[in-house]
Amino acid sequence: MTATNAAAAPEPQPAGLGPSTVLGYPRIGPGRELKRALEAYWDGRLTAEALHGVARGLRAASWHRLRALGLAALPSNMFSLYDHVLDTASMLGAVPDRYGHLGDLDAYFAMARGADHVAPLPMTKWFDTNYHYIVPEIGPSTPLRLVGDKPVGEVREARALGYVTRPVLLGPVTFLLLASSAPGGPGSFTPIDRLGDAVDAYAELLGVLAAEGVQWVQLDEPALVADRIDAELGALAAAYERLGGVTDRPRMLVATYFGDPGRALGVLAATPVEAIAVDLVRGPAVGDLTNVDALAAKTLVAGVVSGRDIWRTDLHQALDILRPLRAHVGELVVGTSCSLMHVPHDLDLETDLDPALRARLAFADQKVAEVVALAELLDRHPSGGRTQPGGARDSAPPPETTRDPAQPPSRGPYRVRAAAQAERLGLPPMPVTTIGSFPQTDELRKARAAVQAGRLDEPEYERQIMAEIDRVIRVQERLGIDVLVHGEPERNDMVQYFAEHLDGFATTRHGWVQSYGSRCTRPPILHGDVSRPTPITVRWARYAQSLTPRPVKGMLTGPVTIAAWSFVRRDLPLRDVVGQVAEAVRLEVRDLDAAGIAIIQVDEPALRELLPLRRHQQAEYLQWAVAAYRLATSGAGDSTQIHTHVCYSDAAQVLTAIDALDADVTSIESARSHGRILDEPGIAGFVRGLGPGVYDIHSPRVPSADEIEELIGTTTRLVPPERVWVNPDCGLKTRTYPQVEAALANVVAAARRMRERLPTLR
């Protein structure tokens, strides 16, 4: 499927929910058409009209594909040019005044990426996924009224192609619970206080959609699966009582996903909504649903096909879940557990995978087919009995014998390590470093593709990698950076690169998943026992260090993040899988240490991401996640400095665990969120090195030295200057060399100014 091959318009279809549906579908295009169009537009190589043309083509192709796969009820408004939360803020007119001077599309992208003189809004993880959303900014006087018509436009667009669709909206409760308070508001204010205004706007939108002939609308409320206080559940009830009372409106499907809605399910079922979608992969047991009496009058969309992983559904087990529900709900619809935007488009594109592994997999298109097949099987065999569904069972191997990692050897106390490292490294106060990656140039990407295609031999490719490392080292020396990196030119991705060198993983060619905006990743498939057959990074680290007397960091990805950003086998507990990865990373740390690398960074940006959404499950997770990290880093001696990095995932929620990692230096996102992390009480008690980011690398904007100096100053008021590090928020892979060199020059200048003021800072 391509973005432009939608076939001739089919006959109009019924607008009901039907026997099967999905809660969403990938929006980047199977060939990453959206990524290429966005980046061409941002670079000035594509007009706004052409960008919107690509978007229309992607939407048309998606509807055509879903219908061709047999899906009864098609969603719309599941597409976004950048982020669906940002779309909602724009639709409601919740655009901060500092973006008001820009045109609509420019303001939209400025909120996401920043502009010349205005910083972007914060960005963080969408619940416990690797998707990032733009955090809305809501204050007491922020406009909340219907100003956009994107959902209506897509309904019309689909209808012109012959498709009747169900618009998908982010629900008002989740929208406000995910928002941050606008600066300058009263301390008691929270965005949920504006629920009445938001619901009024949604009520108006329901009326507009009804006038357009829409029969069903989907409102996503994933925030309901986290711990919610009574006041929030009261707000939920009030919101949907109000929306249910709209005189002329479409019927409402409220979707909860990523877990068990718990008490929220009964609250929601007591409102006038006609249908509720529940995640039955991660969520409640069947018995929990049958105990909710109000579901007897509702349509239940049973999410038995996982939208979060790429493993084939066991159709027998899914039918065993579905059948008992039929007698307890008004109508049963087979669906996905959540949107399919978290999985790649189409397994049929992966012709290189091992056939035995491939037989166990299902990407988005295959999951749609599973939903359709389950609905047909349920209709043909409503009362049970072992049928032979159209599709093989998941052929995953039986569980292996799990093995607990040995108790990691203890590194010395921090004070002992800090003294040994200071003597070895001889760094200035407030040393400047970067997080790891430098820009991935077109030449590097072309060389990597040429090697894969057999057009470039390995020796010539390695020569190009070494030349790029030379360039990165020289740039950093010229700029005056204190602790260098080799730039990671040999790496396609911080997780995929390691997966390609570890046993137990498989990688794809076309398995792209959106991370944010135009940023896409190919999550590896962790399907077997993990081990490290040979050293992975030692050669490149040793070469980079040979080029300079300044310390060059060895760069590794941590075990939690490698697992979090992969599709992980289901036949072992996650903690055991992470333990295997930790042992592989430990061996790499040991070999870097033995090679004389004085600083080793083991990144864990996904530490917060895997945190369970329910508080009662979090302590156990953090305990084993911290233990895995400490095992991974235990291969280093006391005089070798261990760094870690955390970004874009509400790290404030896991500050205690970050401290427990016992890394000598922690760099953490701060610039993008305007220093919010520095307001956390745990920051002042942080006893090791800390580098809150001073440069938001996800924006093309170059911060001034004055701006950076102010951010460093904020840190030194909380952390003693001798423990402060100066660094960007994240790696520089997505930026260009001119942007990077200009920004890092300002970072170095700001750090030097602050060093000159050291006597006054102490």
In order of 93, 254, 487, the CA distances from 208 in angstroms are 17, 19, 52
Cβ proximity of 336 and 305 under 8 Å? yes
Taking residue 201's Cβ as centre, other Cβ atoms within 10 Å add up to 20
Secondary structure of 426-479 in HEC code, one letter for each residue: CCCCCCEECCCECCCCHHHHHHHHHHHHCCCCHHHHHHHHHHHHHHHHHHHHHH
Cross-strand pairs, 361 = 311
SS3 513: strand
Please provide residue 697's backbone torsions phi and psi, each rounded to the nearest 5 degrees: -80, -10
Residue 592's nearest CA partner among 643, 644, 540 is: 540
Instruction: Report strand pairing: 251-255 vs 275-279.
Output: parallel
Q: Which helix (H) or strand (E) holds 156?
A: helix 150-160
**CA–CA distance, 372 with 669 (Å, rounded to integer):** 43
Chain-centre distance of CA 319, in angstroms? 31
Cβ proximity of 264 and 287 under 8 Å? no
Q: Which of 84, 510, 645, 698 is catalytic?
A: 698
Residue 605: both structure tokens together: 């940006």
Residue 487's nearest CA partner among 471, 500, 463 is: 471
**CA–CA distance, 373 with 214 (Å, rounded to integer):** 27
CA dihedral 27, 56, 175, 281 (to 10 degrees): -30
**CA–CA distance, 711 with 523 (Å, rounded to integer):** 34
Please provide residue 369's backbone torsions phi and psi, each rounded to the nearest 5 degrees: -60, -35
Residue 381: both structure tokens together: 């065999």
Residue 59's nearest CA partner among 165, 147, 210, 130 is: 165
**CA–CA distance, 162 with 289 (Å, rounded to integer):** 36
**CA–CA distance, 676 with 649 (Å, rounded to integer):** 12
Residue 686: DSSP 8-state: -
Cross-strand pairs, 487 = 437
**CA–CA distance, 471 with 477 (Å, rounded to integer):** 10
**CA–CA distance, 211 with 151 (Å, rounded to integer):** 13
Q: Is 698 a catalytic residue?
A: yes
**CA–CA distance, 136 with 121 (Å, rounded to integer):** 7
What are the residue numbers of the active site?
698
